[in-house]
Amino acid sequence: MNAIHPTVQVRQLSKNYGSVQALKNVDLSIAAGEYFVLLGPSGGGKTTLLRTIGGFHKPSSGQVWLNGQEVSHLPPDKRPTAMVFQAYALFPHMSVLGNVGYGLSLAKLPKAEVRDKSIAMLEMVGLKGYEDRRPHELSGGQQQRVQLARALVLDRNILLLDEPLAALDAQLRKDMCLELKHLQEKVGITFIHVTHNQEEAMTVADRIALIANGELVEQGAARDIYRTPERRFTASFVGENNLLSGTVASVEGDTVTVQVCGQPLSVDRRDLPVSTGATVALSIRSELVEMVPEDGSASSADGLSLAGTYTESVYLGLTLSHRVALSDGTQIVSRVVGESDAPPPVAGSAARVRWKPGALRLHIN
């Protein structure tokens, strides 16, 4: 019985540009039919990783395996991948139909077959009836659909998308996110999508890998990356997390007590190797924080709140964010969904932020 291989696997993959390490010993496996997102800050190495998988860059060390075969030495046209670039890269003198069928024509397929496959793919991406238009007659979203059709018509089982929605406005990007996800589910192949936009990543991804400074920081299901980040960097990059720094005062079983601004906070140890006196990071999502005026009736004895000074509120329609400054200057944000007729506290007044047990997370890096 043959072993089951991941569709995409990179092993100890590194890429150097002179003295600059763009990728550092990355290990990654992606399953067949998975929508996988490489998320991270600009310059972190995610596009380099994508292009190395596609054969546009040669690795300095390590290997790329696709469909169970080692392909590190193969050029892009010899790999089972198709690429969608950030720039639409459509031929302006060709019709939409000509653009979509260009790769099939290069492969010397019969003209009738090229036309039939191209028309079928245009229908799949929602552009039936646009065959004779030129790229300049299309909107940005329509041009991106043409590029998707041109890549998918090649019938490869791995589609690489390099910041495919970066050129679109905010609302169109949201619409195209949903269309991409539905399209991937329809065709059933593996999508690997690069973006620095976390909302975009959350919308489409089955799993997310966070790439920063050339390293794979953390990977997991989109929900887990958002709700239960393991690494401090993940908490700082994904979602709207409040980050605190403190010193471990005690460790008792599964509970760690951390001193933050002279106040003790209780947090689950999560099997992390912590010891008394160590400096650690704590994170808590802003929507899990409640801000209340400080009236002297509450205290930090339960380890589930902090006292500070109210600074300001930020109204964004769907949400209202309250900001409270701690004694060390750290700003804590409490984000509330929905409208409230109650006026916010006066800037400079005493306030307290609190949360439920289990909301605070411990990080040692």
- How much is the pLDDT for 218? 96
Q: Write the Ramachandran bin of 257: left for phi over 0, alpha for psi from -120 to 50, otherwise beta.
A: beta
Does residue 19 form part of some domain?
yes
Residue type, 22: A
Among residues 187, 205, 232, which one ends one of the domains? 232
Q: What is the CATH number of the domain that holds 220?
A: 3.40.50.300
pLDDT band at 337 (very low <50, low <70, confident <90, very high): confident
Expressed as residue numbers, the domain containing 16 is 8-232
Does residue 355 form part of some domain?
yes
Does residue 123 form part of some domain?
yes
Among residues 216, 232, 248, which one ends one of the domains? 232
Q: Answer yes or no: do 43 and 170 share one domain.
A: yes
Q: Answer yes or no: do 159 and 12 share one domain.
A: yes
Q: What is the CATH number of the domain that holds 340?
A: 2.40.50.100
Q: Answer yes or no: do 174 and 57 share one domain.
A: yes
Contact 240, 285 (CB under 8 A): yes
Among residues 172, 198, 232, which one ends one of the domains? 232
- pLDDT at residue 290 greater than cutoff 60: yes
Give the CA angle between residues 67, 70, 72 to the nearest 5°: 120
Does residue 184 form part of some domain?
yes
Contact 243, 236 (CB under 8 A): yes
What pTM, to 2 d.p., does this model score? 0.91
Q: Answer yes or no: do 250 and 219 share one domain.
A: no
Q: Answer yes or no: do 194 and 295 share one domain.
A: no
Q: Answer yes or no: do 259 and 159 share one domain.
A: no
Max intra-chain CA distance, the chain: 81
- How much is the pLDDT for 299? 57
- pLDDT at residue 54 greater than cutoff 90: yes
Question: Judging by DSSP bridges, how do beta strands 207-212 and 255-260 pair with one another?
Answer: unpaired
Does residue 1 form part of some domain?
no
Q: Answer yes or no: do 268 and 308 share one domain.
A: yes
Q: Answer yes or no: do 92 and 218 share one domain.
A: yes
pLDDT band at 64 (very low <50, low <70, confident <90, very high): very high
Q: Answer yes or no: do 140 and 259 share one domain.
A: no
Q: Answer yes or no: do 103 and 148 share one domain.
A: yes
Q: Answer yes or no: do 41 and 94 share one domain.
A: yes
Does residue 3 form part of some domain?
no
**Sign of the dihedral defined by the CA atoms of residues 203, 204, 208, 214, in that order:** negative
- How much is the pLDDT for 300? 59
- pLDDT at residue 244 greater than cutoff 90: yes
Residue bearing tokens 């900001």: 323
Q: Answer yes or no: do 135 and 244 share one domain.
A: no
Contact 191, 159 (CB under 8 A): yes
Number of domains, the chain: 2
- pLDDT at residue 194 greater than cutoff 70: yes
Is residue 104 helix, strand or coil? Answer: helix
